[in-house]
Copies of this chain bind each other. A is one copy, B any other.
Amino acid sequence: MDKPLILVTNDDGITAPGIRTLIRLMKEIGEVVVVAPDSPQSGMGHAITIDNTLYSKKVADGEYSCSGTPADCVKLGLQELLGRKPDICVSGINHGSNASINVIYSGTMSAAIEAGIEGIPAIGFSLCDYGWEADFGPSEPFVKQIVEEALAHGIPPGVVLNVNIPKTDNGAIPKGIRVCRQARANWREKFDKRQSPQGKDYYWLTGTFELLDQGTDTDEHALSEGYISVVPTQFDLTAHHAMHQLNSWNLK
């Protein structure tokens, strides 16, 4: 059987330790093509570049950098750079959590979702450690296992996987993997207001994460107990449960 073709991308940029780990692992499974941003794109959500030009550069054998967003990288990879449809797209390993509400802001997941929209099985991986020196070692066998299972079973159409890996101390191994739902949460914003040397006011966006969900079947709960969370994630945003209520409104 031919080796599977694996498209690898991320949002921290092509030189980030997380994507270098993912590339190395994926080369043990299949043929790898990398299309990733040439600079960090965290917090880009599902942005695409429509009013500006895109540049792409071959930076190594099978590796392309792109001036655009993570979603741009996937679009450009599929249409221009890969030559054939990949068997799977993996994004990450992100430096920082994309669990619960973070999925909405995540460039890592936007790349995976873009591939999902194009009908390609896709997985986003994130380690709950923002540090550039984060230790990806303990998660490596799990990352490989999840990709191999996805290749073996397929991922249901319209679904992409959001995988988050707990930060562990002293190289400890995560306790295992749990299939979860997205926890209800938000960010309590705090704007840090400052003044420029020229006397102009400006803000930095900061905030603290606020978990609003006590369920034991959530990604946040699994991570807090030392497990890897796998949330099946969809891009059909229809809230079917709300249809009935809306139909009772006076809309004609």
Contact = CB atoms under 8 A, between A and B. Distances in A.
Interface of A: 40, 42-51, 53-56, 71-72, 75-76, 78-80, 101, 103-105, 110, 113, 117-118, 145-146, 149, 153, 155-156, 158-159, 161-162, 176-177, 179, 181-182, 184, 186, 189-191, 193, 200-205, 230-243, 245-252
Given A48-B205, A179-B246, 5 more contacts: A104-B117, A104-B237, A182-B238, A232-B239, A232-B243
A80 B193 contact: yes
Q: Counting chain B CB atoms within 10 Å of each CB, which of A78, A104, A239 scores highest?
A: A239
A203 B51 contact: no
A247 B182 contact: no
Q: Counting chain B CB atoms within 10 Å of each CB, which of A110, A117, A251 scores highest?
A: A251
Nearest to A234: B239
A232 B251 CA distance: 14
Main secondary structure, interface of A, reads: mixed
16 contacts: A48-B105, A49-B205, A54-B205, A56-B201, A75-B205, A78-B189, A101-B117, A103-B237, A104-B235, A176-B251, A176-B252, A179-B251, A181-B236, A182-B237, A231-B238, A233-B239
Contacts of A203: 53-56, 76, 80
Contacts of A113: 104
A43 B53 contact: no
Nearest to A162: B237
Contacts of A71: 45, 105
A177 B176 CA distance: 49
Contact of A79 (B80, B189, B231, B247): B189
Contacts of A145: 250-251
A191 B50 CA distance: 11
A199 to B, nearest CB: 13
Contact of A55 (B48, B200, B232): B200
A146 to B, nearest CB: 7
